[in-house]
Amino acid sequence: MTDLKIVSVAITPVALKDPPLLNSSGVHEPFALRSIVEVHTDAGIVGISEAYGDDATLALLHRAATAVVGTDVFDLNELSRRVAEAVGGSEASSPTELIGAASHDKTVAQAFAAFEVACFDAQGKATGRRVVDLLGGAVRERVDYSAYLFYKWAEHPGDYDVDPWGEALDPDGIVKQARRMVERYGFGSLKLKGGVFPPEEEIEAVKALRQAFPGRPVRIDPNANWTVETSHRVAAALEGELEYLEDPTPGIPGMAEVAAKTSLPLATNMCVTSFAEIPESVRLGAVRVILSDHHFWGGFRATQNLAALCRTFDLGLSMHSNTHLGLSLAAMTHIAAATPNLTYALDTHTPWKSETEDVLVGGGLTFTDGAVTVPSGPGLGVELDRDAVARLHEQYLTCGIRRRDDVGWMQRVRPEWTGKRPRF
């Protein structure tokens, strides 16, 4: 059997319109950055993936891109060795502080993930098999996602497109948003992005959701914007109401203190975001659910390693998202379908994306009853729409944003804003 060598790599930064979603740092900017990675092989097969699109990530991807040329797309160990060598000395970078501390290992994992996913896509296209099959086979053909609710303004101040969702600044607004999202996509569970308003208001919003959607699991995630004391208070008020409480407070020791006084499972995509953080977390009993994310855990195989550790330590496994396009959604769907203990509905920012913006032929994957069916074609089963990529690249060139800065955008509106956490 001949190998399938990488002959070149193309990295295209793109920008998509993003609504004014509020979080503990501030507010989403009018555009979010992603990048499209294409791995060209000597057989003419091209593997694709989606990664963050900020300057620091692009620099990493470019360093790795030069190093991976000549690697066989099936030789993921060699790919990993080369990426680690190429980006090893790079400054630790984290595309957003909302996914935890930066570290050298995370920097390497983040760069490797983009190439590993593209190589899996190429492997699938070469063998006529779906990525989910290469990852061990589908344990489910439909992957459930949850409704990701955000407090939000009606629009960004300035001359920007207005999204169709309107304002949501109180429990009523959140329930209205949830109804609309559930009606449109059929989601069976709900996640509220908290850490925006005083916790008492967010407790009310959770209770309003529980009342409006009886029996539907609800989560809240204030992105570590509560002190340990505040977290105790909120956890006590929401005992029995939540599927899990995500990142109430910063750091593993703080999370362990909160965990010690509540029966609610604590979940994280902030204090455990790399393998190095697992031992302390397990030792202190800080979390009961880890939100995986192949973009920064190091790709598909690393996600499966994480899944094995979760099984070993009797931890639940869920999945985190950042603003993304359909290519990431496809990748998330394949890895989730191949991971038996990924049993929670996954996060996705898809509903916040403009329906007319994606990089995939056909405009992206669709949700039925809150789930995405694993695409049936070889590899990731999706194809790039070249014109759409070009349009979003043009938007990247003109949007003026080069790294995510939710704090800075909030400061335009509220100059006294610091984004310092925990605020409550």
Q: Which is nearer to Mg ion, 24 or 123 (CB)?
A: 24
Catalytic site positions: 193, 320
Which region, judged by CB under 6 A, interacts with ligand GKR, from 36-44, 91-99, 117-125, 338-346?
91-99
Q: Decide: 307 and 342 in contact? Cβ < 8 Å.
A: yes
**Which of 221, 277, 293, 385 lies at the binding interface for Mg ion (CB under 5 A)?**
221
Strands, E, within 26-167: which ranges?
Answer: 31-41, 46-52, 142-144, 147-150
Angstrom distances, CA of residue 140 to CA of 172, 396, 405: 35, 36, 37
Which region, judged by CB under 6 A, interacts with ligand GKR, from 138-146, 199-207, 315-323, 376-384?
315-323
Contact call for residue 269 and Mg ion (CB under 5 A): yes
Contact call for residue 99 and ligand GKR (CB under 6 A): yes
- Between vectors from CA 290 to CA 171 and to CA 371, what angle results, nearest 5°? 65
Contact call for residue 371 and ligand GKR (CB under 6 A): no
Least Cβ distance, residue 10 to ligand GKR (angstroms)? 27
Least Cβ distance, residue 327 to ligand GKR (angstroms)? 18
Which region, judged by CB under 6 A, interacts with ligand GKR, from 72-80, 306-314, 319-327, 407-415?
319-327
Q: What DSSP assignment string belongs to 199-256?
A: HHHHHHHHHHHHHHSTT--EEEE-TT-S-HHHHHHHHHHTTTT-SEEE--SSSHHHHH
Q: Which is nearer to Mg ion, 130 or 295 (CB)?
A: 295
Contact call for residue 25 and Mg ion (CB under 5 A): no
Q: Which is nearer to ligand GKR, 39 or 235 (CB)?
A: 235
The sign of the torsion formed by the CA atoms of 372, 373, 378, 383 equals negative
Least Cβ distance, residue 296 to Mg ion (angstroms)? 12
Site string for ligand GKR, 13-52 (x = CB under 6 A): --------x-x-----------------------------
- CA distance linking residue 140 with residue 336, whole number of Å: 8
Q: Tell me, what DSSP letter sits at residue 155?
A: S
- CA distance linking residue 68 with residue 52, whole number of Å: 19
The three-class DSSP label of residue 92 is: coil
Contact call for residue 147 and ligand GKR (CB under 6 A): no
Number of residues in contact with Mg ion, rule: CB under 5 A?
3
Q: Could you give phi then psi for residue 325, rounded to 5 degrees?
A: -105, 180
From the list ligand GKR, Mg ion, none, which binds 96 (C-beta under 5 to 8 Å, kind-based)? ligand GKR
Q: Decide: 147 and 175 in contact? Cβ < 8 Å.
A: no
Contact call for residue 249 and Mg ion (CB under 5 A): no
Angstrom distances, CA of residue 211 to CA of 171, 204, 391: 11, 10, 43
Counting Cα atoms < 13 Å in the Cβ hemisphere of 391 gives 12
Q: Decide: 173 and 154 in contact? Cβ < 8 Å.
A: no
Q: Which is nearer to ligand GKR, 210 or 320 (CB)?
A: 320
Contact call for residue 96 and ligand GKR (CB under 6 A): yes
Site string for ligand GKR, 344-363 (x = CB under 6 A): ---x----------------
The tokens describing 220, both together, are: 């809240």
Contact call for residue 98 and ligand GKR (CB under 6 A): yes
Site string for ligand GKR, 210-239 (x = CB under 6 A): -----------x-x----------------
Starting at the earlier edge strand, list the strands of the sheet with 46-52.
6-17, 31-41, 46-52
Contact call for residue 293 and ligand GKR (CB under 6 A): no
Q: Which is nearer to ligand GKR, 96 or 103 (CB)?
A: 96
Residues lying near ligand GKR in the complex (CB under 6 A): 21, 23, 96, 98-99, 193, 221, 223, 269, 320-323, 347
